[in-house]
Amino acid sequence: MVAPDTLRVVRCGGSALCGARAVFSADSKYLLCASGDFVKVYSVNTEETLRLMGGHADLVTGIQLNPHNHMQLYSSSLDGTIKLWDFMDGILIKTFNVGSKLLALYTLASAEDSVFVVIPKNGERDTFQLVSVKLTKGASQDLESKELSVVLDDVGPSMKHIAFGREGAYVVSVKGVNLQVYFFKRKLLNRFSLSTVKTKGDNRFSCVVCHPTEDCLATGHADGKIRLWRNFHHKKEYTYSALHWHHDIVMDLAFSVEGTRLLSGGVESVLVQWHNESSCQKDFLPRLGSPIEYISLSSDGALCCTLHTDNRITIINSNLRFSRSIQGLIKSRDVKTGLVVDPRTKALVLNGEPGHLQFYSLQSDQQLFSLDIVQRQYIHEAGLKQSDLVKVAFSAQGTWLATVEESEEVTDPELQLKLWFYHEEEQSFQLNTRINTPHDNHITDMCFRDMDELGDDSLILVTTGRDCVFKVWVMVEDTDPEAQQSVSWTCDFVGSYHNYQATNCCFSEDGSLLAVSFEETVTVWDSLTWDLKCTFCHPPGNIRKICFGRLTCSKYLIGTTDYGFLCCWNLLTCALEWNAHLNVVVLQPDPLSEHIAAVSWLSKESSLFVFKPNEPRPIYIQRNLCKEKILLAAFVPRDEPEMISSEKYLWLRKSQPFFLTDTQELMTLSTKSLEERLTPSSKQLAVEESLPVTPFSLLLGKHRRQQAQEDIDLGKPVVHNKQEQASPAVKELLHTPAHVLPSASFLCTIFINSLLISKENKSAEEVADEVEMESEKAEDDSDEEDVTAMEQEDTSHMELLGEMPCKLSKSQEKELRRIRKTDYSWISAF
């Protein structure tokens, strides 16, 4: 396909998985998840994303299997449509347009052709109602389904707030401290409410589930209690018992298939399994990494899956053993590290789990690995001063990694600068040096002097801090021969400028100059002698970001200020080259070209400007890149330069820009369409291929392989036969005395034809005709010839060899003879 003229903005990762509970397919082989505007199909065994089903225009809020056909899936979205999918093939079957925002979706086996959705009540804000939607039947793909009947009023907006009871006999809804149960058959509505006065804690409902076989309800509460309700048929004699382990809100509950076990999860990121409500016996699966948002079970009860707030899916065995986790771009609380590209793996590196650095592979939309930086147990509790990673820098070859971590405390940030060395044998980063309190106040920026050609000796790390200094760290060889490591890092130089806070630092491409911004001023330092060379400023407004130009534009220094100016200074003349009024939030140079991308944030939309420092006119402008605010950007080098026909997009040739929004969604610009981007492998549901090798399949595979081997062995003699059959022609040619042979021009065609593989009998007949005329004797030989091969090719070969096939039908033979006779008679008649 020719690259289309338009550049499209593509969301390529990090979409929130927390729209709805995940759903296992009926055979528990696939896991279906609502991910942003898409529905994703994962293979449970291989953790791969098998399919991405797009079509909704807004967030998907609910997915449910079609109870009447478990190969189909209903999905609801905020765009007001319910879509029916065949998730095995990724085909959209039908779209039902409901008309109002859909907040949750439920299906019931007993309800023939209707589904239940939660919609906002007309005219009232923050009031929702549960309605049943009659799915109209029709041939066309887009259908209007406006036939709504209200089931329950005043329900909660989340799908966790409503549950359908045993065989769809009743529906339960919780909101605030109120619980309501509606019995379909009896058309009875029971309301219960908890007293808010008696209890100390916040006992509002957070979620509700129904027992699959008994009349029993389990509700989770904001104070961490779980209540089990029974006898709720009666308005007065209802009973409930409480289970309490969680110290904070119960996020989700799930009954096992038989109803003997209850699973609960919350912000503690511990999955709790309650065995028996009376004995309070419970099992735990602790340290799942991040708060549990949803729990869902497969229909056979063998697997359980938890969706976490950081967009991770954990699959857990029925015996409460961690099985595997599906993780794409992990959502961290705050991406403080920025988007960094790992030079070794070309993976995006940013904050992951608390205290971890995630390496996210852009090609496979998977997390490559997670590096534990802080190395402390993370306590999931609100109000704690956690320490987290704030800055990350890689050296040019990716051999060194510098990280800065600090705790959230304002007065004593407990700063630590860590330097990690990439260990080739273990294929991971190992801690080399830890520096406690490298600066007296928060570190604002950090960069390596990366010079490929000079090797490790030139490696310098610069950190800037709010304590008004920047520090230069160098590697020193350890003199002690018995020390475990040969090098360590130490401070070499401390520079300051008029006691201003240092905010940014940047090395020029050749590493000779260091630019450090101090509030309103940019200072340029010689990196050999650490002398201050010159200063630039563009008052008013602090410098927000600085970078040097590259390649042909290396004489320019670009800076952006708080007051919305983009300035370009010439380092040779020490003067302002040009400036532009632009509120730049992100300034990102492309490491492989002169281009610099600037993302501005103006009136609730982000715009992208790409320019070269040597000319003030941008070479590319994309207005309204997205509605969200873009916080970070990175250029990821392509493996091979992409062929781009359009002059306008040449800047995309060597590297691809990626943007991270404030909702931690990853976006990129691509000239390719969505279909092209998806690799063919992900288009097929590779059922067999995706299965792991079991001992049985190994056994089977061995057997199959043997067969294949036999086939090959069989195949060989066939080939030999052909050669043997071809040889008589040659033999004949060579062994017949020269004076008996016909002319060479006559023989040539026969010889050449003997080497051809012909399948057409008709032509063979004609040739046979001629051959017969030539030698009658050979005909007799052909009868004696041992012909084992039954293939048509072989017969044709024999024909071409000038031997009458024994396989020719009698009629054909007769015909041939007749022709011969007539021929002769005709000649004699002459």
Partner 1 sequence: MAAYKPVVVQTCPRLGEKITQDTLYWRGYKTPVQIKEFGAVNKIDFSPAPPYNYAVTASSRIHIYGRYSQEPIKTFSRFREAAYCATYRDDGRLLAAGSEEGSICLFDVSGKAPLRQFEGHTKPVHVVGFLSDKYRIFSGGDDYSSALWDIPSAREIISYSEHTDYVRCGCASKVNADVFITGSYDHTVKLFDARTKSSVMTIEHGHPVESVLLFPSGGLLVSAGGRYVKVWDVLKGGQLLVSLKNHHKTVTCLCLNSSGQRLLSGSLDRHVKIYSTTSYKVVHSFNYATSILSLALSPEDETIVVGMTNGVLNVKHRKPEEKNENSQKKRQPVYRTYMKGKTYMPKQEDFCVSKPVKRVLRKYDKLLRSFQSSKALDAVLEPPIMLHTPEVTVAVMQELHRRGTLRSALAGRDEKQVNLLLTFVARRVIEPRFTSVLVTVADMITDIYHPVVGQSAVVDKQFLKLKEAIGKEIDYQEELLEVLGMMDTLFATFTKKSLEENKSNGVKEIIQTNRSY
Q: Which of 549, 517, 522, 515 is nearest to 536 (CA)?
A: 522
* Shortest spacing between CB 524 and partner 1, in angstroms: 13
Cis status of the peptide bond prior to 291, with omega within 30 of 0: no
Residues near 681 by Cβ (< 8 Å), separated by ≥ 6? none
- Contacting range for partner 1; rule: CB under 8 A; set: 95-103, 282-290, 330-338, 389-397: 282-290
Nearer residue to partner 1 within complex by CB, 288 or 587:
288
* Shortest spacing between CB 497 and partner 1, in angstroms: 9
Q: Is 290 in the site for partner 1 (CB under 8 A)?
A: no
Provide the terminal-to-terminal Cα distance of the chain, rounded to the nearest Å.
68
Q: Is 532 in the site for partner 1 (CB under 8 A)?
A: yes
Buried b (16+ CB within 10 A) or exposed e, 69-79: eeebbbbbbbb
CA–CA separation, 800 vs 818, rounded Å? 21
CA–CA separation, 358 vs 356, rounded Å? 6
- 157's tokens: 């907006």
Q: Is 482 in the site for partner 1 (CB under 8 A)?
A: yes
x-marked contacts with partner 1 along 7-46 as a string, rule CB under 8 A: ----------------------------------------
Nearer residue to partner 1 within complex by CB, 372 or 689:
372
Buried b (16+ CB within 10 A) or exposed e, 418-440: bbbbbeeeeeebeebbebeebbe
Q: Is 322 in the site for partner 1 (CB under 8 A)?
A: yes
Rounded to 5 degrees, φ, ψ at 333 are: -65, -40
Nearer residue to partner 1 within complex by CB, 377 or 811:
377
Q: Is 289 in the site for partner 1 (CB under 8 A)?
A: yes
Of positions 214, 412, 456, 526, contacts partner 1 by CB under 8 A: 412
Nearer residue to partner 1 within complex by CB, 231 or 535:
535
Nearer residue to partner 1 within complex by CB, 482 or 647:
482
Nearer residue to partner 1 within complex by CB, 270 or 804:
270
Amino acid type, 712 = I
- Output the CA–CA distances (angstroms, integers) from residue 452 to 36, 392, 399, 550, 592, in the order listed: 41, 19, 11, 15, 14
* Shortest spacing between CB 47 and partner 1, in angstroms: 15
* Shortest spacing between CB 511 and partner 1, in angstroms: 21
Q: Is 384 in the site for partner 1 (CB under 8 A)?
A: yes
Helix or strand (DSSP H, E) at 166: none
* Shortest spacing between CB 498 and partner 1, in angstroms: 11
Q: Indicate the pairing of strand 91-97 with strand 142-144.
A: parallel
- 230's tokens: 């029974």
Q: Is 531 in the site for partner 1 (CB under 8 A)?
A: yes
What is residue 249's DSSP assignment?
Answer: -
Alpha helices by DSSP H, 650-791:
674-677, 680-683, 687-690, 695-735, 744-755, 761-774, 777-784
CA–CA separation, 227 vs 217, rounded Å? 8
CA–CA separation, 644 vs 650, rounded Å? 6
Of positions 441, 496, 673, 775, contacts partner 1 by CB under 8 A: 496
Nearer residue to partner 1 within complex by CB, 196 or 375:
375
Nearer residue to partner 1 within complex by CB, 63 or 313:
313
Of positions 314, 327, 517, 682, contacts partner 1 by CB under 8 A: 314
Q: Is 688 in the site for partner 1 (CB under 8 A)?
A: no
Q: Is 413 in the site for partner 1 (CB under 8 A)?
A: no
- 420's tokens: 């990690």
Which of the residues 418 through 447 are near partner 1 (CB under 8 A)?
Answer: 436
Nearer residue to partner 1 within complex by CB, 442 or 653:
442
Q: Is 493 in the site for partner 1 (CB under 8 A)?
A: yes
Of positions 26, 148, 491, 650, contacts partner 1 by CB under 8 A: 491
For partner 1, the binding residues (CB under 8 A) are 285-289, 314, 322, 325, 372, 375-377, 379, 381, 383-387, 407, 412, 436, 480, 482, 491, 493-496, 530-532
